[in-house]
Chains A and B, each alone.
Chain A
Amino acid sequence: MPALCKDCLAMFDGGHRCPVCRSPRVAAHPDLFALSIAHMDCDAFYASVEKRDDPSIRDRPVIVGGGTRGVVSTCCYIARIFGVRSAMPMFQALKLCPEAVVVRPRMEVYAAVSRQVRAMMEAMTPAIEPLSLDEAFLDLSGTARLHGAPPAVMLARLLRRMETELGISGSVGLSHNKFLAKIASDLDKPRGFSVIGRAETADFLRDKPARIIWGVGSATQGALERAGIRTIADLLRWDRQDLVARFGQTGERLWHLARGEDARPVQRDHTVKSISKETTFHDDTADPDILDGHLWRLAEQVSDRSKARGLAGRTVTLKLKRADFAQITRRHALAEPTQSADRLYREARALFDAAGARGPFRLIGVGLADLAPAGAADLTQDLLDPGAARRMAAERATDAIRARFGRDAIIKGRSLR
């Protein structure tokens, strides 16, 4: 059976240890060198980066997330032993693992590392579909001749480079489509390398719970359970028409995915559809001044991000979550796209006032949607708001000062509230 050493990348035929370096870290599969669709997922990405940058916390449980009100965004494998999981409320995580080191997320650092990983992947294939900062699909079909090595070897090399050059580890799933590759990458974490071949696809899926299917969240899962579907095997018993009749488009997808069929290509450009920013308060608040300060800061952050990406939006969105978790969203279409913090703030503020929602709130968010290139943004002024031109000029001057002297060189008094 074709096999590959994950440490020295030697290719050999079967065995539990590498004949070259004697490493036990061996990936073996009959189709190992024939498959080319992969999913790469970094292991506990944010936590790994934190451990890399601060060796003193390397052997301690680390949780990356915000404040006592926040949730766990990532936790290291040591913290997972205590039962901590991502998306768990922080207080619960700390109850399970009181000795955990809690680190505030440093998104800029993660984004930088993510770009380095991306660059390594770019060297392997142009067909990359990033799903988030720490995971991506890769299609390596037809690259074997170019690289002089089959996809499996290139992927193992990627993982090795990430470990040696960036100090973070990742896991790879290799299969014949995206759906299975994504499942495979999760089978053998961390530092995993799992393969699902065509031949064993059906056997592999049969006993898995339906929620293994990507896109089946708790809502779909509930709907499936009401129909008596818990496992893939249950799904297989349904006729295609019946699934479609009951679940519509989703039913059609489920029918195919239950059979391990997924024709979606690895799509390079996952275009940005919206830019948004939200914040969960430390303490629920209904104080209009505090909320106004948050609206301004969020508007400024969304504006910064859209300016950095050269984008503008025609629709401004406002999101509010009340203390009882009831969510309110409001949107407003503009006559022309904007990327100005001032305009965003004013629109968001108008939406907030018009929503007439009673606090206290636990979360507030501002976003831009219906995106357009920055060139089309903020070209016309408002006749009825003669001050707008001056505020816009002030914003451009502020941006220029910040570009030279840093973010905090100049701020609005409003943002101090």
Chain B
Amino acid sequence: MKISIERGALLKAVGQAQSVVERRNTIPILANVLIEADGGTVSFRATDLDIEVVDRTPAVVDRAGATTVSAVMLHEIVRKLPDGALVNLSEDAASGRLTVMAGRSVFSLATLPKEDFPVMASSEYSSNFSASAPMLRRLFDKAKFAISTEETRYYLNGVYMHVAQGDEGPVLRCVATDGHRLARIDAPLPEGAAGMPGVIVPRKTVNELRKLLDDDEAQIAVSVSETKVRFATPQITMTSKVIDGTFPDYSRVIPVGNTRRLEVDAQEFAKAVDRVATVSSERSRAVKLSLDEDRLVLSVNAPDSGAAEEELAVAYGDERLEIGFNAKYLLEIASQVDRENAVFLFNSSGDPTLMREGSDMSAVYVVMPMRV
């Protein structure tokens, strides 16, 4: 194999590969990226056995072939090369080394046989549809903060992507929860997605997927089966196993009868929460919200370290209410609001609270209060 490729294109492809490979693994070849050159394209394939990413990029192929080298090392080398450099990769079958040349730099890297590289078994996808990058970006970005890291409830360690009945017809819906807060994000159902099985997309896949979604113009081909999900752009194909479990019935968690309505500027609110939470040294910082006629007082009382209070002008017309929340949870949901005011709907100080953006029902958040 012998190819020449521009440094920028190579860095992007190898960057994607090295973030997929598992840093600590017991199978050496999983640390490697499989480079295959044929015709006018080179593909870079990396896997951790749960996710597989293939990046196809045009290059000058002098000699077709394939080999595998350490993804992290190749990435480090390419990263340190000067911008705009032309990089030559050539495999010396006799010595089993891959030579990387750019300008006056020459590297010789150990390789492992391409035959040993595990290629993810292809799957029969029952659903295929196309979705715009901004739409998928919104669905996953707004939900992922609520993904659980708790291993005992492994089925919460991802975003549940499925088809649901929204207020105005069927929607593509992403839900994530860790049992303390929940995010439910809807988007118009893309054509062809109606029969899609619901899948739990693992946290790592959600993070890797994000790199495919930066281009506002991009259309992503999404394929879903009971066991796998695939996201593809013309250049990159990412295939991932989904979490084998049943996502809990979240619908009964979302309160419908909450009537006490608070409307507040989300940014001001978040800043104030952040400020008062400073005095608490506890890991789970509790912030108390005291609501009265158009007035919100945020307070923190940490006996060991101090107390803080801040008043905000808000829209609130219901009877007095005192309710406590984990400051981190409040900050995270408040930061999901980007266009309008945040609307909180309370019931009592012990019941789940609902938050949404203005009257937009396509993104709702639920957060459990804390005793204060």
Stretch at the interface among B78-86, B173-181, B266-274: B173-181
A285–B180 alpha-carbon span in the complex (Å):
37
B20 interfacial contact with A, CB 8 Å: no
Q: Taking CB as reference atom, which chain B residue is nearest A376?
A: B282
Stretch at the interface among B45-53, B62-70, B159-167, B363-371: B363-371
A residues less than 8 Å from B369 (CB atoms): 380
Give the contact-size bracket for chain B: 20 to 34
Task: Digitize B142-171: 1 where CB-to-A-CB distance is under 8 Å, 0 elsewhere.
Answer: 000000001110000000000000000000
- Contact yes or no, B350 A389, CB < 8 A: yes
B residues less than 8 Å from A389 (CB atoms): 350
Q: Taking CB as reference atom, which chain A residue is nearest B304?
A: A373
- Contact yes or no, B284 A335, CB < 8 A: yes
Give the residues from 363 to 400 in chain A that come closer than 8 angstroms, CB to CB, to chain B: 372, 375-376, 378-386, 389
Closest beta carbon of chain B to A119's beta carbon, Å: 28
A336–B324 alpha-carbon span in the complex (Å):
15
B residues less than 8 Å from A384 (CB atoms): 177, 179, 248, 250, 253
Closest beta carbon of chain B to A382's beta carbon, Å: 4
Closest beta carbon of chain A to B119's beta carbon, Å: 31
Q: Taking CB as reference atom, which chain B residue is nearest A380?
A: B370
Choose among A332, A382, A385, A386 the residue with the greatest number of B CB atoms under 10 Å from its CB: A382
Give the contact-size bracket for chain A: 20 to 34
A residues less than 8 Å from B180 (CB atoms): 335, 380, 382-383
A378–B371 alpha-carbon span in the complex (Å):
8
B237 interfacial contact with A, CB 8 Å: no
A332, A350, A379, A385: the one contacting B371 at CB < 8 Å is A379
A residues less than 8 Å from B182 (CB atoms): 383
B111 interfacial contact with A, CB 8 Å: no
A13–B124 alpha-carbon span in the complex (Å):
98
A354 interfacial contact with B, CB 8 Å: yes
Choose among B151, B180, B352 the residue with the greatest number of A CB atoms under 10 Å from its CB: B180
B152, B179, B284, B370: the one contacting A383 at CB < 8 Å is B179
Known interface pairs A336-B284, A383-B179, A385-B179. Does A350 touch B152 (Cβ–Cβ under 8 Å)? yes
Give the residues from 307 to 360 in chain A that come closer than 8 angstroms, CB to CB, to chain B: 332, 335-336, 347, 350-351, 354
- Contact yes or no, B370 A354, CB < 8 A: no
A378–B303 alpha-carbon span in the complex (Å):
18
- Contact yes or no, B366 A383, CB < 8 A: yes
B residues less than 8 Å from A351 (CB atoms): 152
Closest beta carbon of chain B to A342's beta carbon, Å: 15
A residues less than 8 Å from B352 (CB atoms): 383
A375, A378, A380: the one contacting B326 at CB < 8 Å is A380
Task: Digitize B175-214: 1 where CB-to-A-CB distance is under 8 Å, 0 elsewhere.
Answer: 0011111100000000000000000000000000000000
A384–B146 alpha-carbon span in the complex (Å):
13
- Contact yes or no, B253 A379, CB < 8 A: no
Closest beta carbon of chain A to B241's beta carbon, Å: 20
B286 interfacial contact with A, CB 8 Å: yes
- Contact yes or no, B284 A376, CB < 8 A: yes
- Contact yes or no, B326 A354, CB < 8 A: no
Closest beta carbon of chain A to B354's beta carbon, Å: 11
B residues less than 8 Å from A336 (CB atoms): 284
Known interface pairs A380-B369, A384-B253. Does A354 touch B152 (Cβ–Cβ under 8 Å)? yes
A residues less than 8 Å from B252 (CB atoms): 386
- Contact yes or no, A332 B152, CB < 8 A: yes
Give the residues from 24 to 54 in chain B that come closer than 8 angstroms, CB to CB, to chain A: none
A332–B153 alpha-carbon span in the complex (Å):
11
Give the residues from 322 to 372 in chain B that come closer than 8 angstroms, CB to CB, to chain A: 324, 326, 350, 352, 366, 368-372
Q: Taking CB as reference atom, which chain A residue is nearest B352?
A: A383
B residues less than 8 Å from A350 (CB atoms): 152
A residues less than 8 Å from B250 (CB atoms): 384
Task: Digitize B280-300: 1 where CB-to-A-CB distance is under 8 Å, 0 elsewhere.
Answer: 001110100000000000000
Known interface pairs A350-B152, A351-B152, A389-B350. Does A381 touch B368 (Cβ–Cβ under 8 Å)? yes
A386–B253 alpha-carbon span in the complex (Å):
8
Closest beta carbon of chain B to A182's beta carbon, Å: 35
A335, A379, A386: the one contacting B286 at CB < 8 Å is A379
Residues of B within 8 A of A (CB): 150-152, 177-182, 248, 250, 252-253, 282-284, 286, 303, 324, 326, 350, 352, 366, 368-372
Q: Can you offer 25 A-B residue contacts whose CB atoms are under 8 A?
A: A332-B150, A335-B179, A335-B180, A335-B284, A347-B152, A350-B152, A354-B152, A376-B282, A379-B324, A379-B370, A379-B371, A380-B180, A380-B284, A380-B326, A380-B370, A380-B371, A381-B368, A383-B177, A383-B179, A383-B253, A383-B368, A384-B248, A384-B250, A386-B253, A389-B350
- 9 tightest CB-CB pairs across the interface, nearest first? A379-B370, A382-B179, A350-B152, A379-B371, A380-B370, A336-B284, A383-B253, A384-B179, A384-B248
Residues of A within 8 A of B (CB): 332, 335-336, 347, 350-351, 354, 372, 375-376, 378-386, 389
